[in-house]
Structure 1
Amino acid sequence: MKAYYWESHHGNFGDDLNLWLWDALLPGFRDVHPEVLLVGVGTVLNPVLLPVGQKKLVIGSGYGYGTPPDVTDAAEWDVRAVRGPLTAAKLGISTDKAITDPAVMIADMPEFQNLPKIHKKTFIPHWESAEFGMWNAVCEPVGLTYLDPRGEAKSVIRHIAQSELIIAESMHGAILADAFRVPWVAVSSSRSINNFKWNDWAKSVGTTYEPRYVPVSTRAEAVAKRSRFWGINFDRQEPARPAAQDTHGGEVMTHTPPSQSGLRGMAKQFLAAPSVLALWQASRAEPRLSPVEVLEERKEKFRTMLEGIRRDYF
């Protein structure tokens, strides 16, 4: 059995955790049923992404883009669990299979247990914000530690677990924070963000998604997101270039970069002032946590579902 995941050129810890999560949840899965594709963490339930003619075992994936797949053919689909009730409705399957995102199970893994709190407040942006924005510099005056979602997955997750508060534009930043019982505040730097997948997960664990709006931090970010920057509308007529920043090289990026110097650096800092203010306000907002009894019930249902898979495939 092979695990499918969305592999991006920039890296994204929420997708990359598929590389090792299933070895922990279903030890030995790689040695059985080579004809079956395990479809796990990610918003990947889209016929454009998944191969036709191959059996797909779906464990906690979500819908969010394009046309939902037809999963009625048992020869091609074995849907054991999806991310939440919104995905279940789109697929036309029972809400009993709307368990939650598999990433919540990471909090029970021994290597992430009893980690000391070493970060007070951490901001983890969406990968696109990290790619095109200057959020590392925005975090400095706000008093936040910047966490790059493109870093190595286990390092990113460990940082989340060791924080006292998470400000999350990254959905899996919030999912992991909630799983580790770290209070979180959702933010969004794009008014056109796909709320479906966030609400799908939030409903699965009995919480709500009400993001605070934070303006984009650079012109390049506005172009990438077809957003506004200082009153000017941008679109994709010109390619967006990533903001100059330190490369993460496969490691988690948590440091504060050297201060920008010169008039250009000062101008960029000035133009990012609305982002600084909004992120500062978000860092002082009332955080959320899902009800612990709901989360534990979801996790127990997930374990039961995994036991069924072991009986049927191993």
Structure 2
Amino acid sequence: MKIYSWTGEHPNFGDDLNHFLWEFLMPEVVADADDGALLVGVGTVLSNKLPAAKMRVVMGSGVGYSAAPRDISGPNWAVYAVRGPLTAKLLGLPADRAVIDPAVLLPGMPQWPTDKQQTPIFIPHWITAQDDDWRWAAAKTGLRYVDPRQDPMTVISEIARAPLVVAESMHAAIIADAFRVPWIPVIGMHRAIFKWQDWASSLSMDYRPHRVGLWARVQHRLSPNPQFTGNFGGTASSSPAKPKFNPAEAARSLIGHMPRPVRREMMVRDMAKAQRKPSQLSADTMLAGRQNLLRERIEQLREDYASGRIVSRAASSIV
């Protein structure tokens, strides 16, 4: 089974961890990348942009960016689990398909460090990380900056050792929660409300992000309640009705006229304020229950693969 991992302009540890995670959890299933099946695992990748495959096997991924696939209930799909209840509802899947993001199983791997650092860390989204002002602002507020474009093993090790994670990257929060490291969600230059709410609701949590910097504040003023509609078969939009203006473009135009010292000062002020907010952590029993359910679904997939049911379905399917 071929492992699907989204690849963008820059590396992103949340997507790149797919390969070693699945090779650890079910090595025999992903050993043959040419059997016609595609494993769709970690990431906000359930969309009509997935590559062609005779069989798409879904284990924990979610929707949230591009238009959702129309045919996910068809014979060319095997859906064992999706990231959360919002994805399941949008795709019309049974409620029991909503499990959790597979990154929660990372602590089961043996190679992570056990020593703890004293300094909290900040992990932006990879888009935000392209602006070095965020590294500067983190240092000014006593946070150690962790670039999400690094090797995923390095980023995950940093999370496991941290006393607190300030996270714009959703997978920074997911992995921190799995390692029982408190986390504080922020929005800097990247806003993706749906996918965060999808994951948080899988653990009965609320998503309460803090806006950091001028970009986040202007975007919020221009578009305070962005909604992902799924928009089957088309291009994802921010609301059911066609917007009269593009909030991102309007924000970019306004911010472009602001002096850099002013923008930096707001980053520092907001980052310091965010650190004083209460951190979040899911309930131990809730996390353990979701992890166990996901392990059961993985074991079911392994059994189906061993019996030939997945491969035979792929062999008999037409892309």
Do they fold alike, i.e. is TM over 0.5?
yes
CA contact under 8 A between 2:60 and 2:100: conserved in structure 1? yes
Q: Which piece of structure 1 moves more, 133-142 or 157-166?
A: 133-142
Structure 2 vs 1, CA of residues 279 and 226 (structure 1 numbering), >3 Å: closer, same or farther?
farther
4+ runs deviating over 6 angstroms: none
Give the Cα separation in 1 of the matches to 2:167 and 2:274.
Answer: 10
Question: For structure 2, which runs of at least 5 residues remain unmatched after alignment?
Answer: 217-245, 307-319
**Match runs of 1:107-122 below 5 Å:** 107-112=107-112, 115-122=114-121
Secondary structure at the residue paired with 1:164? coil
CA contact under 8 A between 1:134 and 1:217: conserved in structure 2? no
Q: Which residue of 2 aligns with 1:239?
A: none
Question: For structure 1, which runs of at least 5 residues remain unmatched after alignment?
Answer: 236-266
**Match runs of 1:91-130 below 5 Å:** 91-112=91-112, 115-130=114-129
**Match runs of 1:279-290 below 5 Å:** 279-290=271-282
Q: Which amino acid aligns with 1:128?
A: I
Q: Which residue of 2 aligns with 1:48?
A: 49
Tell me, yes or no, if structure 1 residue 296 matches structure 2 residue 288. Answer: yes
**Match runs of 1:173-184 below 5 Å:** 173-184=172-183
Give the Cα separation in 2 of the matches to 1:233 and 1:280.
Answer: 21
CA-atom RMSD, angstroms?
2.4
Give the Cα separation in 1 of the matches to 2:303 and 2:36.
Answer: 17
Give the Cα separation in 2 of the matches to 1:115 and 1:83.
Answer: 28
The structure showing larger relative contact order (alpha-carbon pairs under 8 Å, at least 6 residues apart) is: 2
Q: Which residue of 2 aligns with 1:144?
A: 143
Secondary structure at the residue paired with 1:232? helix
1:80-99 deviation line (CA, Å, top 9, x unaligned):
00000000011111111100
Between the aligned residues of both structures, percent identity stands at 41
Give the Cα separation in 1 of the matches to 2:197 and 2:215.
Answer: 25
Q: Which residue of 1 aligns with 2:16?
A: 16
Tell me, yes or no, if structure 1 residue 71 matches structure 2 residue 72. Answer: yes
Give the Cα separation in 2 of the matches to 1:226 and 1:28.
Answer: 47
1:47-69 deviation line (CA, Å, top 9, x unaligned):
12332x52000000101123221
1:73-124 deviation line (CA, Å, top 9, x unaligned):
12x1000000000000111111111000000000121112x61112421010
Give the Cα separation in 2 of the matches to 1:86 and 1:183.
Answer: 24
**Corresponding pairs, count:** 275
Q: Which residue of 2 aligns with 1:232?
A: 254
**Match runs of 1:145-224 below 5 Å:** 145-190=144-189, 193-216=191-214
Give the Cα separation in 1 of the matches to 2:19 and 2:256.
Answer: 36
Secondary structure at the residue paired with 2:60? strand
Secondary structure at the residue paired with 2:127? helix
Report the CA distance between 1:19 and its aligned residue. 2.0
Structure 2 vs 1, CA of residues 13 and 216 (structure 1 numbering), >3 Å: closer, same or farther?
farther
CA contact under 8 A between 1:58 and 1:81: conserved in structure 2? yes
Q: Which residue of 1 aligns with 2:305?
A: 313
Report the CA distance between 1:224 and its aligned residue. 11
CA contact under 8 A between 1:64 and 1:194: conserved in structure 2? yes
1:160-186 deviation line (CA, Å, top 9, x unaligned):
110000000000010011000000000
What TM-score comes out, normalization by structure 1 length?
Answer: 0.82
What TM-score comes out, normalization by structure 2 length?
Answer: 0.81
1:256-299 deviation line (CA, Å, top 9, x unaligned):
xxxxxxxxxxx745540010010011112110001110000000
Report the CA distance between 1:226 and its aligned residue. 3.6
Give the Cα separation in 1 of the matches to 2:11 and 2:159.
Answer: 17
Report the CA distance between 1:225 and its aligned residue. 5.0
Secondary structure at the residue paired with 2:201? helix
